[in-house]
């Protein structure tokens, strides 16, 4: 009865709310209940509105004559976190992600949002970002340079008395309150771009999430191999595709309005990309999913017409590779969001193309 009532309430909410958000890196046009309007999951809710990142800047241009992996990508020397978070007398308070969340069983994309919210708060409130000592902290440190250079790691017992700051409900944007003379511990999923929308906040988050050399090199090598798979395509344009399925197909999610992208969405997205780029012969689609078998079936017909190379790495390896693609087609979810955002696209647009 409660599930039926929830569905009825959701249907009543939908016609009343149309949101348009514009920030330095994000444009959203969607129809949804207000509690979801700021979340990355808004692209998978109710109306099959999904995310596609397009811009004209070439990140990689693969050709068979290039042998040095370092020539495939131009690295910009960013500011170190120590420069962004310069130690001073004012920086004597700290902020962390609550251990029950950062050290919990959620996946990479979720943890990245939790860290991003805390890092942005540290930059804005002039705090020191610290993390609890646990396995996930070590894992993130092996993936991202920000965790290996300057991030302060503390024992769990030292953080137990820190002031807790919870979000109101999952997928909601709950601003992080400014308090003084106390360390703060942020809990919740924090799955909203609004936590890091200023230039200062974005700079701090991007510096934190720079990939270590292993993942940089793995991504470059993977794209090179994808080109070889189709006969060393000259000056290939790489378009990443991420297909989120997994638990979104369960009634636990579908009963509350979550939707997965259909084959028609990807078909329309690919058509839009090729129309935008006007060079379909040199496009290689690099696809990744948390449910490879189901995702492969979803794109089976498309693979007969287009060059689609499937990724088979770890979540972090696939994330790094997708972030190096020229353009990205993604479905709703945190992993998809970071795949597009990490690539520094000029525009990330929500299109209703189903």
- Domain coordinates of the chain in residue numbers? 10-65+213-351, 81-208
- What would you report as the CA-atom Rg of the chain, rounded to the nearest whole angstrom? 21
Looking at per-residue confidence, does 16 or 334 come out higher?
334
pLDDT value at position 165? Answer: 95
DSSP 185-243: EE-S---BGGGG-SHHHHHHHHHHTPBPHHHHHHHHHHHHHHHHHTT--TTBEEEEEEE
pLDDT exceeds 90 at position 200: yes
pLDDT exceeds 60 at position 15: no
Looking at per-residue confidence, does 86 or 95 come out higher?
95
pLDDT value at position 149? Answer: 67
pLDDT exceeds 90 at position 44: no
pLDDT value at position 296? Answer: 87
Looking at per-residue confidence, does 42 or 20 come out higher?
42
pLDDT exceeds 70 at position 82: no
pLDDT band at 244 (very low <50, low <70, confident <90, very high): confident
pLDDT exceeds 50 at position 338: yes
pLDDT value at position 285? Answer: 95
**Tokens matching residue 299:** 């794109």
Average of pLDDT values for 148-169?
A: 88
User: How many Cβ atoms from other residues are within 10 Å of residue 353's Cβ?
Assistant: 17
**Tokens matching residue 261:** 């992208």
Contact (Cβ atoms closer than 8 angstroms) between residue 352 and residue 47:
yes
pLDDT exceeds 90 at position 126: yes
Mean pLDDT of the chain: 74
Contact (Cβ atoms closer than 8 angstroms) between residue 101 and residue 188:
yes
Contact (Cβ atoms closer than 8 angstroms) between residue 114 and residue 97:
yes
Looking at per-residue confidence, does 42 or 219 come out higher?
219
- Residue 258 is classified by DSSP as B
Contact (Cβ atoms closer than 8 angstroms) between residue 270 and residue 329:
yes
> pLDDT > 70: what percent of the chain?
66
Q: Which residues lie across from 288 on neighbouring strands?
A: 242
Looking at per-residue confidence, does 71 or 314 come out higher?
314
Looking at per-residue confidence, does 345 or 325 come out higher?
325
pLDDT value at position 83? Answer: 52
The beta strand positions in 235-335, using DSSP E, are: 237-243, 283-289, 308-310, 327-330
Contact (Cβ atoms closer than 8 angstroms) between residue 145 and residue 210:
yes
Looking at per-residue confidence, does 10 or 6 come out higher?
6
User: How many Cβ atoms from other residues are within 10 Å of residue 311's Cβ?
Assistant: 21
Say which CATH architecture domain 10-65+213-351 belongs to.
Answer: 3-Layer(aba) Sandwich (3.40)
């Amino acid at each position: 009865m409660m599930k039926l009532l929830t569905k009825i309430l959701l249907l009543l909410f939908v016609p009343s709310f149309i949101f348009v958000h514009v920030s330095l890196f994000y444009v959203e046009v969607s129809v949804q209940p207000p509690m979801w309007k700021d979340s990355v999951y808004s692209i998978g809710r109710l109306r099959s509105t999904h995310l596609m990142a397009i811009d004209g800047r070439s990140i990689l241009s693969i050709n068979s004559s290039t042998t040095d992996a370092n020539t495939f990508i131009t690295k910009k020397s960013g500011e170190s976190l120590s420069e962004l978070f310069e130690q001073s007398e004012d920086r004597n308070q700290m902020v962390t992600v609550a251990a029950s969340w950062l050290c919990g069983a959620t996946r990479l994309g979720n943890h990245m949002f939790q860290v991003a919210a805390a890092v942005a708060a540290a930059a804005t409130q002039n705090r020191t970002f610290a993390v609890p000592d646990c396995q996930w902290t070590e894992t993130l440190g092996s993936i991202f340079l920000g965790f290996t250079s300057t991030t302060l790691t503390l024992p769990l017992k030292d953080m137990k008395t820190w002031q807790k700051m919870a979000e109101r409900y999952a997928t909601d944007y709950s601003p992080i309150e400014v308090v003084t003379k106390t360390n703060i511990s942020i809990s919740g999923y924090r799955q909203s771009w609004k936590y890091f929308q200023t230039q200062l906040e974005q700079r701090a988050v991007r510096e934190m999430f720079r990939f270590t050399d292993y993942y940089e090199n793995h991504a470059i090598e993977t794209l090179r191999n994808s080109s070889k798979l189709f006969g060393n395509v000259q000056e290939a344009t790489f378009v990443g595709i991420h297909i989120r399925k997994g638990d979104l197909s369960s009634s636990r999610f579908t009963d509350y309005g979550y939707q997965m992208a259909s084959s028609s969405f990807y078909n329309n997205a690919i058509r839009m990309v090729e129309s935008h780029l006007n060079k379909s012969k040199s496009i290689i689609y690099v696809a990744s999913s948390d449910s490879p078998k189901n995702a492969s079936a979803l794109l089976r017909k498309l693979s007969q017409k287009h060059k689609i190379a499937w990724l088979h790495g770890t979540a972090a390896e696939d994330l790094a590779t997708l972030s190096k693609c020229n353009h990205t087609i993604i479905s709703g979810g945190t992993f998809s969001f970071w795949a597009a955002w990490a690539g520094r696209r000029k525009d990330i647009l929500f299109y209703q193309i189903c």
